[in-house]
Chain A
């Protein structure tokens, strides 16, 4: 009897999970499908799901009209660069908060995270003016700096969580064994935190890759990443849905593929500490 209930439950859970999964995936699927339609089919009413003439025309046209690879390269430099710079700052910060906590450590963490709750547009004008004065507008360096700052709270918070899982006794053992602070971090802490670091890096690359507010507002042509490449297809003369979809598919493909291959690591990383 009990077994039957469990089986039924399993079936219901499976169906619900699939429905939710498909609902979440549907917009992406629709974008991909639309990218293979003609512009007329893309805006047909009622919408056509699969019964259309598949065409690569949009991709060819997008490639002719703009330089995909330059945007792609900008995205890579900006997301990887901001992640590496973020780690350089976040590792010492997270170490200090995890192993030498003060009375206000929790408050500092909350305060850092609260900056993520502010609407970024609130600081757009000051940052824009600062960037203009410093000559950072439309430069990859400028975007690396701004994205590092935007995502730093998340990197610190994640590393802090991983570091806290590392038993303090092991670091004390290293100290007894004559390790300097640098030795302790380089030889013991970081190698032990590799899984956590990996998921932090992955998540941060994804966040930086998808970031659209700052990348659109602070770039024009030279440093524009893939987000700007997509936006260039929503022109004032009317939307070209099929071309926009083709551009979007090309922009999200690299990160989607990376996410697909590293999903195990990502899930493990994001639930780390939650379930022991």
Chain B
């Protein structure tokens, strides 16, 4: 249960093609994250799978069954929306029971399932409240509860955490990951936040302008990005890109070095520069280095605390085996 296959799926709005022909297979029980900058078509792709948008051409199969033209309710999928999309006039219990009621399930079975979901999601104390009386995190849990009671073939999440504050987001991230381990149901998750993608996914699908740039596990994408776009998108802070002479030395049009693969030193090193802004997080220090003659700014990550100030001189040395090389078209060269 829960294998989703997209076969040459396209989507156009009027004359504008937002998804050019696209193939993708999401395996049973997988946690797949669609990630990309805003407007890359990741939400549209999710809505095509959900059936909330019609495909322009191509085929969508869910568990080997052609679902291309099935209405959303018939696809055995459950969706959690960015705005939670709870029914404001219904109590938490009624919200969670709504899909069961629509399916014509008996009252006892409804109650049994709602109570179970409420217990799993720690909602039992709020079961008779209205959504307006809940915090953002609680609302999100109700939305998830409404999705799990249906025992769907797959869950679809459309940027579910972007309305939450940073601390809560981390918690909910863990909760969703735990839920996935517990339920072992396929999950398709859309986000623009690469940290969410890296921490939650079994498989990441990086999208740009409706095209799939790369599909792979988080560490595959981190270690071997297929092109410059993926290299720049995955990893935080962003990879440093260097062109010109220094790149030519490595036989490439452009090279990329992640901030964590640069060794900073106050005494010696390969590249000399001046410290600009320093971000001191305690566990890490991010330094923005200028005047290296390589790029406008080079970001470097030092582990722990580093007592460097604005204007200090710094030397940077890249780890030789961690340098990524790209050709003029932006594709990876080995």
Query: Which residues of chain A have a CB within 8 Å of any CB of chain B?
Result: 167, 169-170, 172-180, 183, 187-188, 191-192, 194
How many whole Å from B250's CB to the nearest CB in chain A? 48
**B229 sits at the interface (CB 8 A):** no
**B126 sits at the interface (CB 8 A):** no
Q: Is the CB of B83 within 8 A of A178?
A: no
**B134 sits at the interface (CB 8 A):** no
Given A178-B73, A179-B73, A187-B98 in contact, is the A173-B81 Cβ separation under 8 Å? yes
In whole angstroms, what is the CA distance A172 to B72 when docked? 9
Cβ-closest chain A residue relative to B88: A192
From the candidates A170, A178, A194, name the one contacting B103 in the complex (CB within 8 A). A178
Q: Is the CB of B77 within 8 A of A176?
A: yes
User: Can you give 12 contacting A-B residue pairs, CB < 8 Å?
Assistant: A169-B81, A169-B83, A172-B81, A174-B87, A175-B52, A176-B50, A176-B79, A177-B78, A177-B99, A178-B73, A183-B102, A187-B87
Q: Is the CB of B73 within 8 A of A172?
A: no
How many whole Å from A152's CB to the nearest CB in chain B? 27
How many whole Å from B226's CB to the nearest CB in chain A? 34
**B146 sits at the interface (CB 8 A):** yes
How many whole Å from A258's CB to the nearest CB in chain B? 25
Cβ-closest chain A residue relative to B47: A172
Query: Which residues of chain B have a CB within 8 Å of any CB of chain A?
Result: 50, 52, 71-73, 77-79, 81-83, 85-89, 98-99, 102-103, 146, 150
In whole angstroms, what is the CA distance A98 to B159 when docked? 25
From the candidates A167, A170, A175, name the one contacting B73 in the complex (CB within 8 A). A175
Given A172-B52, A175-B73, A191-B89 in contact, is the A167-B99 Cβ separation under 8 Å? no
In whole angstroms, what is the CA distance A167 to B84 when docked? 11
In whole angstroms, what is the CA distance A172 to B158 when docked? 12
Closest 6 CB pairs of A and B: A177-B99, A173-B85, A178-B102, A178-B73, A169-B85, A191-B89
In whole angstroms, what is the CA distance A187 to B71 when docked? 19
Q: Is the CB of B73 within 8 A of A176?
A: yes
In whole angstroms, what is the CA distance A174 to B72 when docked? 10
Q: Is the CB of A178 within 8 A of B99?
A: yes
Cβ-closest chain A residue relative to B149: A177
Q: Is the CB of A177 within 8 A of B89?
A: no
Given A176-B77, A176-B79 in contact, is the A167-B102 Cβ separation under 8 Å? no
From the candidates B85, B89, B103, name the one contacting A172 in the complex (CB within 8 A). B85
From the candidates B82, B83, B98, name the one contacting A177 in the complex (CB within 8 A). B98
In whole angstroms, what is the CA distance A178 to B72 when docked? 7
Interface of A is mostly: helix
Task: Give 4 new A-B contacts, CB below 8 A, not counting A172-B85, A180-B102, A192-B87.
Answer: A172-B79, A176-B52, A176-B77, A177-B73
Q: Is the CB of A176 within 8 A of B78?
A: yes
* B83: chain A residues within 8 A (beta carbon): 167, 169
How many whole Å from B50's CB to the nearest CB in chain A? 6
In whole angstroms, what is the CA distance A191 to B77 when docked? 26
Cβ-closest chain B residue relative to A191: B89
Cβ-closest chain B residue relative to A171: B85
Cβ-closest chain A residue relative to B50: A176
Q: Is the CB of A176 within 8 A of B72?
A: yes
In whole angstroms, what is the CA distance A167 to B89 when docked? 14
How many whole Å from B34's CB to the nearest CB in chain A? 18
Of A167, A172, A179, most B-chain CB atoms within 10 Å: A172
* B79: chain A residues within 8 A (beta carbon): 172-173, 176
* A194: chain B residues within 8 A (beta carbon): 89
In whole angstroms, what is the CA distance A170 to B98 when docked? 12
In whole angstroms, what is the CA distance A167 to B81 when docked? 11
* B88: chain A residues within 8 A (beta carbon): 170, 192
How many whole Å from A49's CB to the nearest CB in chain B? 51
In whole angstroms, what is the CA distance A183 to B89 when docked? 15
Cβ-closest chain A residue relative to B87: A188
In whole angstroms, what is the CA distance A183 to B86 when docked? 15
Q: Is the CB of B102 within 8 A of A179?
A: yes
In whole angstroms, what is the CA distance A218 to B31 when docked? 69
How many whole Å from B74's CB to the nearest CB in chain A? 8
Q: Is the CB of A174 within 8 A of B89?
A: no
Q: Is the CB of A177 within 8 A of B146?
A: yes
* A188: chain B residues within 8 A (beta carbon): 87
In whole angstroms, what is the CA distance A253 to B99 when docked? 48
* A179: chain B residues within 8 A (beta carbon): 73, 98, 102
Cβ-closest chain B residue relative to A193: B89
Given A175-B52, A175-B73, A176-B78 in contact, is the A170-B85 Cβ separation under 8 Å? yes
Cβ-closest chain A residue relative to B102: A178
How many whole Å from B36's CB to the nearest CB in chain A? 21
In whole angstroms, what is the CA distance A173 to B78 when docked? 9
* A174: chain B residues within 8 A (beta carbon): 87, 98
